Amino acid sequence: MTLLGFRLETSLREELESNFENELRFADNVPNFLELLKERKYEAVVIEEANLQQDALINLVKKVVEFQKKAVIVILGESSNLKVVAGTVKAGAYDYLLKPISDKDIMKVVEKSVKDHKLLAERVDKNKNTGDKLIGQTKEIVEVYKMIGKVANSRVPVLVVGEKGTGKKSVATAVHQFSDYSTKPFLSINCTSFQNDLLERKLFGYEKGAFETASFLQIGDLEKANGGTLHLGNIESLSLDMQSKVLYFLQEGEFFRMGGTEPLKSDIRVVATTSENLEDLISQKKFIDELYHKLKILEIAIPPLRERKDDIPFIIDHYLIECNSELQKSVKGISKPAMKKIMRYDWPGNVNELKNAMKSAVALCRGNSILVEELPNNVIGNKLSKRRGDIQNWILGDWIEGEISNLRAGNQRDYYGNVTSKVEKELIRQVLEMTSGKKVETAELLGITRNTLRTKMNNYGLE
C-alpha cells in the first residue's frame, strides 16, 4: 500500500512500517505535506486532526482531493463535532475515525477502505462496461460503490432499488463487471418491453412446435447467460404467472422451455431492478411475497440525485465531454448563475434528466459556457419569460435577492456597497478578458480613466 500520513503519532507510524512493505511517507507540517502530495500518487492519505482548526482541516482535505483524486482520505479525530465530521466528509474524506481507537484497528479500517474505494477508480476505468450513471464522490454514492464490491462475487440474487433515472441498470452491470465471472455473458431484459408470451419465449426459450409459428428450437436468455448474469429490469412488470416461473428457477435452479418436458439447469446470477415499492404491490396482490424475499437477500438502494447534489458537478463534467463529442461542440463549463439554478433544482428524473438537460444545453450553447437561458425551462423555473431581456432581468433580480438574503443573515449593512462592488468587479474582469488584458482599451470601453481602472483592479485583486 502507498500511504501518506500527516502528523501521525509515533506508535501508529511504527505499526504501519512494520506491517506494510510498500512506500510510506510522513509529514509533520503543511508545506512538507503539500510537497509530498504532489510528488506521487497514494492509495491512502491519513490525517491526524489534532491542533488543526476546522477550516484548516477542511482545506487540507480539499488539497488532498485536488492532487490525489483516487486516494482514500481517512481522518483521525478527537472531536465529535458535527460540523467537523460532516465538513471533512463533504470535502472528500472517505471516513472519520473517532479516537480513542487502537493502531491495529486504524490499519484495518484503512486497508478495508482502500479495497472498497478502488471500486470507484476501477469504475471510471471501465466506464464503457459499467454504464455512465455511477458518477460521483459523495458519501451516498460511495456507499453504493462499496455495496457493489461486497455483493459482486456472490451468486445470490440481488435487488437494486431506486427512482427512475438513478442508474439501476448501471449498478446491475457493475455487479457483473466486478465479479470473478465478468468474462461470462451479461444479458439484460427490460420486462416492460415485452408482452407476457413474448417475454416467456425470450427468457425460457421454446421447443419446436411449442406454438403455431415455432418451426425450430430456440434457446432463451436463461440458457444464453449460463455462468454469467441476467438482469431483469422493471421486475414489477412481470405477470403473476411469470413471477411464479422466475421464483421456481431461483428456488430450484432449473426451468422448462415452452413446450418442453425436461427440466434444464442454468448457473446464473439474477440481478433484478425496480423503481416501485414491491411491498405495496405485495399488499395489492400484484407481486409474489416469496419472490420478493428471494430477491431481497442482497439489496442495493441507489439514492436519488437530490440527496447527493454535490455529485452534480462531477456528473456534468462527464456529460459535457460526451455531449461535446457527440454534437461537435467545445463547451467548457457552466456559468455561475446557471450552476446555481442546476443545484437548486431537485431533478425528479435523476441522472437521466440531468444528462438530457446537458445535451439540450450544449446544443443551444453559443459560447464557451452554458448560460441560464440555455437550460431547460423546468430547470430554470416558471418565472422566466421567453424574451431574452426578461430572462436577464429576472436573473439579475434573483441574484440580488440572494445577496440581500445573505447580508441580512450575517447582520451586515451597506447593501449598496456590497452588491455593487461584486457587479463592478465582475464587469471589469469580463472586459479585461475580452480585451486580452489591454488596460487602455478596457478603460475606454468601461468609460473610466486608466488611473481609475488601475485603482479598481488593485482593490479587487485583478492585477
**Distance of alpha carbon 65 from alpha carbon 50, whole angstroms:** 20
Q: How many domains does the chain fold into?
A: 4
Identify the bridge partners of residue 75 per DSSP, sorted by sequence position.
47, 96
Phi–psi pair at 190, nearest 5 degrees: -90, 110
Q: Could you report the per-residue pLDDT of 195-217, keeping only the tens digit for each?
A: 878 889 999 999 999 988 888 99
Q: State residue 398's pLDDT score.
A: 59
- Residue 231: pLDDT band (50, 70, 90) is very high
Whether residues 159 and 66 fall in one domain = no
The answer to whether 95 and 74 are in contact (CB under 8 A) is yes
The answer to whether 334 and 367 are in contact (CB under 8 A) is no
Q: State residue 127's pLDDT score.
A: 39
CATH code assigned at 447: 1.10.10.60
The answer to whether residue 278 scores a pLDDT higher than 60 is: yes
Q: State residue 124's pLDDT score.
A: 39
Identify the bridge partners of residue 229 per DSSP, sorted by sequence position.
186, 269
Q: Dihedral sign, CA of 124, 130, 133, 136?
A: negative
Q: Could you report the per-residue pLDDT of 316-373, keeping only the tens digit for each?
A: 998 999 899 888 888 999 999 999 999 999 999 999 999 999 999 999 998 889 999 8
The answer to whether residue 91 scores a pLDDT higher than 60 is: yes
Q: Which of 394, 409, 424 is the last residue of a domain?
A: 409
Q: Where are the alpha helices (DSSP H) in 329-369?
A: 336-344, 350-364
Domain ranges, residue 366: 307-409
Please indicate, yes or no, if residue 132 is contained in any of the structural domains: no
Q: State residue 391's pLDDT score.
A: 45
Average pLDDT, the chain: 85
The answer to whether 121 and 142 are in contact (CB under 8 A) is no
Whether residues 433 and 318 fall in one domain = no
Grid coordinates in use for 322? 460526451
Whether residues 167 and 295 fall in one domain = yes
Whether residues 170 and 256 fall in one domain = yes
**Distance of alpha carbon 432 from alpha carbon 426, whole angstroms:** 10
Whether residues 90 and 8 fall in one domain = yes
Of 174, 199, 270, residue with least CA distance to 230 = 270
Q: Which of 385, 409, 433 is the last residue of a domain?
A: 409
Whether residues 148 and 288 fall in one domain = yes
Whether residues 166 and 256 fall in one domain = yes
The answer to whether 146 and 300 are in contact (CB under 8 A) is no
Please indicate, yes or no, if residue 99 is contained in any of the structural domains: yes
- Residue 132: pLDDT band (50, 70, 90) is low
Close Cβ partners of 203 (under 8 Å, ≥ 6 residues apart): 189, 220, 221, 222, 242, 246
The answer to whether residue 78 scores a pLDDT higher than 90 is: no
Whether residues 170 and 296 fall in one domain = yes
Reduced to 3 states (helix: H, G, I; strand: E, B; else coil), residue 255 is: strand
* Cis amide prior to 100 (ω within 30 degrees): yes
**Distance of alpha carbon 407 from alpha carbon 334, whole angstroms:** 25
Q: State residue 162's pLDDT score.
A: 94
pTM of the predicted protein model: 0.59
Close Cβ partners of 122 (under 8 Å, ≥ 6 residues apart): 178
**Distance of alpha carbon 155 from alpha carbon 170, whole angstroms:** 18
**Distance of alpha carbon 294 from alpha carbon 284, whole angstroms:** 19
* DSSP element (H, E) containing 270: strand 269-274
Whether residues 252 and 358 fall in one domain = no
The answer to whether 314 and 147 are in contact (CB under 8 A) is no
Whether residues 391 and 419 fall in one domain = no
* 442 CB-side CA count, 13 A: 21
**Distance of alpha carbon 318 from alpha carbon 270, whole angstroms:** 30
* 317 CB-side CA count, 13 A: 7
Whether residues 278 and 313 fall in one domain = no
The answer to whether 92 and 64 are in contact (CB under 8 A) is yes
- Residue 82: pLDDT band (50, 70, 90) is low
Number of C-beta neighbours around residue 55 at 10 A? 9
Q: Which of 388, 409, 430 is the last residue of a domain?
A: 409
Q: State residue 48's pLDDT score.
A: 92
Whether residues 13 and 114 fall in one domain = yes
